[in-house]
Amino acid sequence: TLAQSVSAGTFTVPAESRRFQRGRGAAPEIPNLPAFCRVAATLTPSPDSNIKIEVWMPAANWNGKFMAVGNGGFSGAIPLFAMGPMLSRGYAVAATDTGHEGNGADASWVMGHPEKQIDFGYRAVHEMTLRAKQIVSGFYTTAPRFAYWNGCSSGGKQGLKEAQQFPQDYDGIIAGAPAHYWTHLMAQILSVAQAVRKDPASQIPQTKYAAIHSAVLAQCDALDGVKDGLL
């Protein structure tokens, strides 16, 4: 759907890409990027699939490697902000929205869309990986020497699923804080929310956060042998 040469410098994130982003992903600009080729595509492995992907490839000084970056929560947006640092390190980098648009805390899109659930569960990342490698190989006329996955939270879960189901996709996987065993995790989050939000008397006001934080540090900070304000 897009093939674009992007000059070195600050990349302005398109408004449609910021619409469903949270945190760092909502930033309107990604600074200090090298010149790169930007390719966007839509993958449709099923009649109800609508998997958006982007592939960014350094115009010069490619390190010969491919890296894909993961999502957070229920995804719903391509994490362009996570692609920038990897591009700057010389990687050809790719990411996906996992097949739907929406805020990462919103799962309403799953109702009546079993194929989209499959895309989110594993298929979008696998299909993105296969097609991105083809794009990279075509651009450089040589295949990447190594392929890596880098993701945290939902991205960590995606990495574990790749290792479990498609072990040939990546040579190495960084699965940070993996939000795995998704059904149990979501049920646990819901039970906590019901416990502390259903009854206002059960909620901890923000005015008490500092005292709780200080109490935890006082109790646990030195357990690792170093008192440095970190657990």
* 38, pLDDT greater than 90: yes
CA separation for the pair 196, 192 (Å, rounded)? 6
CA separation for the pair 106, 124 (Å, rounded)? 18
* 124, pLDDT greater than 90: yes
**Residue 227 tokens, joined:** 């008192």
**Residues in the chain, total:** 231
Give me the half-sphere count of Cα atoms (radius 13 Å) on the Cβ side of residue 167.
1
CA separation for the pair 70, 59 (Å, rounded)? 23
Please report, rounded to a whole number, the percentage of residues in the chain having pLDDT higher than 90: 82
Q: Please write the tens of the pLDDT for every residue from 172-193.
A: 999 999 999 999 999 999 998 8
Q: Are 97 and 41 in contact (CB under 8 A)?
A: no
